[in-house]
Structure 1
Amino acid sequence: LARLLPETAGPRAGTADAGPHAGTADAPGPSGVPHSAEDSARLFGHVTRLLEELSAARPLVLVLEDLHWADASTRHLYAHLLRTLRAGRLLLLATYRSDDLHRRHPLRPLLAELDRLRAVRRIDLARLGHADVRRQLAGILGAEPEAALVDEIYARSEGNAFFVEELAVSLRAGHRPGLSENLRELLLVRVEALPPDAGRVLRLVAEGGSAVEHPLLAAVSGMAEDALLDALRAATGAHLLSPTPEGDGYRFRHSLVREAVGEDLLPGERSALNRRYAETVEAAPHLVRAEERDARLAGYWYAAREPAKALPAALRAAASARDRHAYAEQLHHLDRALELREQVPEPAPGTPVPLDLLAEAATAGRMSGEARRAYTLVGRALRLLEQEPDPLRTAWFLTRRSRLATALGRGDGGAELRRAEELVRGLPPSDVHAEVLAHLAGWEMVNKPGPDSLVSAERAVAYARMVGAVDTELSAHVTRGVLRVAAGDIDGGLAELYETRERALALAPPDHLARAVANLPSVLEGIGR
């Protein structure tokens, strides 16, 4: 400092010895801190003057990073500067991580004091968005990251820039999907500093789900109310837990901390905790919201390693998700049901066979945008059908494979449809037969338009009407309407498309409604209307 401000090296600050370091700085104590409050004030005054003089020549920005780790002297200097700086073009920019501020953190009083200063502006930074995380990863990796990697790290980091970097390093080192030892240790530092009861509550919340209701936590923990509240107060004060927005329970402030706490459990400990949750919810269902109950039970019994109890819960959860059009969640539960089905040699009566589960899962995968996953599931079903032939089931799966292959760019899907048509030829009339004909007509409309494709569409309409397959009939009508316009019957084709759209709006089957609505403007544009 004396090199910049020579006057700081006055007689009080120098040394009696005229050696090589004489007169270069305040005489510090052994820790490098000025000897007295007066010396501190003098030092702070010199720093203030230095900054004012530097900022007189040009604008100056002074950045203090990670203020939550600052020692007392740094905090005092920062407060002094904010109170006393008057001249110069100077911006003091300090950052701190709010999640690290427990109730008794020494930075809290300073922040409260600074909020009262008119010259101070506090800016709360939101977590990074998906595009921000992609750019950060590109900077870390030195190349544009794969979309799947961005999605995974964004979901797990929840937009926390520090966690993005740590996860990127962890995944690059091969720690997928878990956490590296370094990251786990960083995440568990505050957990290990808590009282034992608070640590126990954190382990319970980690296994309870994304959020745990207070009455459920009380029932599972078996702790006295006062002891439970003290433990929760310690965990929330350490910024590890926070109340849910509804105010009826608790959740981890960051899912990675929850992941670290969960991974720190012993295998037997995790099973026991989840079994306790499952038994508690089954005994007292009112402790969990009705719309969440099946999914929560499925997760608890699965983690408790009780496949016979987890399987029916997973099937109920999948059905509930399907009814809410939550297809990604449905696919998750069906994937788990397929895994559990192999572990339960004698499931309860009425449990779907694997082919039925694969059919539902493939549909859920397509509806949720997971086309690759759906394609894999269909392939798995077709391999099973090679061992136990069933023409109708095989034809059904082949129509799905045709559609998915086209969506994924793995061919035009024609070979699958022709094989499906061969399989159903000569069989009694069925919904599957009608669906194969409708898909084939739609394929010809795109790939081989002409008189023959119009004949195929008319045959599909007639067959679907005969077997009463209303949804399939709507799809075939769309195909026939488009082909009629292309063949020159503009008014007739448009009338069919408009009528089909109105029927689809009334019935609202998602796929065929989308076809009816999307094809009409395309046809109108094609004829210049």
Structure 2
Amino acid sequence: CVRILDEELGVPPLAETMALHEAILNRELVLPGRAESPPQGLRAAPVAVQSPLVERESAWTALQNACARAADHGQLIVVEGEAGIGKTALAAAFAAEYARQGASVITVSCFEGETALAYAPLATLLQQAAAKPDSRERLAGLDRAWLAEVGRLQPSLLALHAHDLDVRGADPFVAQSRFFEGIAQAIDILLAGGQPGLLILDDIHNADNATLDWLNYFVRRLAVHHLSVMLIWRDGDTPADHRLRQLAGQCERQGNATLITLERLSPAAVVRWVEQVLEGAGADTEELARRLFAESEGLPFIVAEYLNLLAGASLLLPDATWPAPGRVQEFLLARLAPLTDIARQVLSAAAVIGRSFDIDTVTDVSGRGEEETMSALEELLARRLVTESGADQLDFSHARLRQVVYGDLSRLRRRLLHRRAGDALAAAARRGSSEEEIAGLLAYHYQLGGEHTKAAHHAFAAGERARRVYANREAIGYFEQALALGADDICGARIHLGDLHTLMGEYSRAEEPADR
């Protein structure tokens, strides 16, 4: 990623950029007017100048209402959405505001590399509690039997009791339940306060099975504990049959669950965000917002990264080139890391084909079998890296994602895949008697695939077709491409160029081809 950052930006981050980045991470909030009837004295959703919380008012209100209901019978809250949609930012902002109102909040993240570590997030939670004097004081009041169970995960907490605690194994039929209840009692006492406490488990899709077993136990008993549990997960990592979704569905049927799905930002939301960040900068915020939405397609993470660059004024010029910020590259590359080898090969083939691609073509270009390709595409769909756009047609979920996948290919691999793409598209076009219609596309793939003779042939055909539909500027480009690649009919290409320049009133250029 360091290499990518250097190649894409060529400079270290500006001080202003780093300052804005820190402000985004710290979520400096500016509160708007109150929402309708906010429960428990909570204020309306803050819309941060540097935070992706615009257009999240309805989600904020849903969080307010859910926490208010927790006082009666507990509440499970699910915040889901694709990677980079702003789930963690929303939860962190709400947690800060909820804590300001006097509630106790605990946030724990689940990490992908710890899925083999039993109870990893719970152990982290207890370790953090053991390091805080006020939390240790609360845990000291825990019943000694429950403290003994908690000590199995965090032995240092055993010292909180004056007498030695018995941590020997109990009857195997009751041992797990006692252990689960001990952890539940510890969390209950840590979250005690003036309002129902809130436990946030971020990226819960990365949790180990043991943690999920405990979570299943705990959530089913929320009515006893009178608190809220917020689960944050990526929908691409939690299929319909995932145990987390089954748990949420059961709670929803019982009336004690709130499900919040975050969507991408609308163009109007991006305009609001840009206006807040660049207030007083003298920039054309509407034009910048329009371009920013086109680049980000409404994904808050990418919007935030471009605003980091905007803070350095490097993109305020109307004709400035917009490189992908380094952290966007890291973010997108991280999404590719869990893919199987075959899925990565199929995605690479798709990146060479284009933003949109069909199943037959990507099968041919990837070099994989039909069954392998279908399995890979199902994996890519599940992770929301690609989306279905029609019968047998798919798209990349984001244009930047395709660029990152393509840029990560070696030059030799690109050349091979472009050559395959040209052959596959040409064969499909011949079957449909439409090869001329995609001549320009074939010229593109064959040129990048090192097949210059084929590229020149199709560039010439594309030029003729463009001229027939009065696309004169495009026709000139194709005929020039054909000449550069060594077209067989050099004389014909030059005559076409002369005629086209004459039609466009470029008489001096019209004479150039004839003089060569």
- Match in the other structure for 1:269: 413
**1:203 Cα deviation after fit:** 1.1
2:186 pairs with 1:42: no
Give the direction of change, closer, same or farther, for the CA distance of 1:58–1:171 in structure 2 (3 Å limit): closer
**1:86 Cα deviation after fit:** 3.1
Q: Secondary structure at the match of 2:459?
A: helix
2:349 pairs with 1:204: yes
Which is richer in helix?
A: 1
Q: Which amino acid is 2:144 matched to?
A: G
**1:270 Cα deviation after fit:** 2.0
Distance in 2, matches of 1:103 and 1:277, equals 34
1:118 paired residue among 239, 246, 255: 255
2:160 paired residue among 11, 22, 32: 22
2:380 pairs with 1:240: no
2:396 paired residue among 240, 252, 261: 252
Q: Is the 8 A contact 2:460 2:479 kept in 1?
A: no
2:141 pairs with 1:7: yes
**1:262 Cα deviation after fit:** 0.5
Q: Which amino acid is 1:42 matched to?
A: G
Give the direction of change, closer, same or farther, for the CA distance of 1:65–1:275 in structure 2 (3 Å limit): same
- Match in the other structure for 2:28: none
Q: Is the 8 A contact 2:265 2:300 kept in 1?
A: yes
Write out per-residue CA displacement over residues 356-412 of structure 1, whole angstroms, 9 at most, x where no aligned residue: 47987xxxxxxxxxxxxxxxxxxxx8xx657889xxxxxxxxxxxxxxxxxxxxxxx
Give the direction of change, closer, same or farther, for the CA distance of 1:354–1:386 in structure 2 (3 Å limit): closer
**1:141 Cα deviation after fit:** 6.6
- Which moved further from structure 2: 119-128 or 226-235? 226-235
Q: Is the 8 A contact 1:103 1:237 kept in 2?
A: no
Give the direction of change, closer, same or farther, for the CA distance of 1:277–1:153 in structure 2 (3 Å limit): same
1:340 paired residue among 481, 496, 514: 481
2:429 paired residue among 273, 285, 290: 285
1:311 paired residue among 437, 459, 463: 459
**1:155 Cα deviation after fit:** 2.5
2:451 pairs with 1:297: no
Q: Secondary structure at the match of 2:260?
A: coil
Larger radius of gyration: 1
Distance in 2, matches of 1:355 and 1:26, equals 98
Distance in 2, matches of 1:139 and 1:208, equals 39
1:127 paired residue among 264, 275, 299: 264
Q: Secondary structure at the match of 2:258?
A: coil
- Match in the other structure for 2:358: 213
Give the direction of change, closer, same or farther, for the CA distance of 1:337–1:213 in structure 2 (3 Å limit): same
Q: Is the 8 A contact 1:170 1:180 kept in 2?
A: yes
**1:261 Cα deviation after fit:** 0.9
- Match in the other structure for 1:416: none
Q: Secondary structure at the match of 1:245?
A: strand
- Match in the other structure for 2:101: none
Q: Which amino acid is 1:311 matched to?
A: A
Q: Which amino acid is 1:308 matched to?
A: A
Distance in 2, matches of 1:180 and 1:301, equals 31
- Match in the other structure for 1:162: 301
- Match in the other structure for 2:124: none
Q: Secondary structure at the match of 2:259?
A: coil
**1:20 Cα deviation after fit:** 12
Write out per-residue CA displacement over residues 53-86 of structure 1, whole angstroms, 9 at most, x where no aligned residue: 53xx447665544433455566556545543233
2:232 paired residue among 95, 98, 101: 95
Write out per-residue CA displacement over residues 262-297 of structure 1, whole angstroms, 9 at most, x where no aligned residue: 011123432332232223322331678969735643
Aligned residues: 350
Q: Secondary structure at the match of 2:160?
A: coil
Give the direction of change, closer, same or farther, for the CA distance of 1:213–1:132 in structure 2 (3 Å limit): same
Q: Which has the higher contact order (CA 8 A, sep 6+)?
A: 2
Q: Which amino acid is 2:358 matched to?
A: E
Q: Is the 8 A contact 1:317 1:333 kept in 2?
A: no
Distance in 1, matches of 2:166 and 2:262, equals 38
Q: Secondary structure at the match of 1:86?
A: helix
Distance in 2, matches of 1:126 and 1:341, equals 45
Unmatched runs of 5 consecutive residues or more in structure 2:
1-134, 168-174, 316-320, 512-516
Q: Secondary structure at the match of 1:133?
A: helix
Q: Is the 8 A contact 2:346 2:377 kept in 1?
A: yes
TM-score (norm 2): 0.52
Q: Secondary structure at the match of 1:96?
A: strand
- Match in the other structure for 2:340: 195
Q: Secondary structure at the match of 1:194?
A: coil
Query: Over aligned residue pairs, what C-alpha RMSD do you find?
Result: 5.0
Q: Is the 8 A contact 1:274 1:301 kept in 2?
A: yes
Structural mapping, 1:488-503, within 5 Å: none
2:399 pairs with 1:223: no
Unmatched runs of 5 consecutive residues or more in structure 1:
30-34, 324-329, 361-380, 390-529
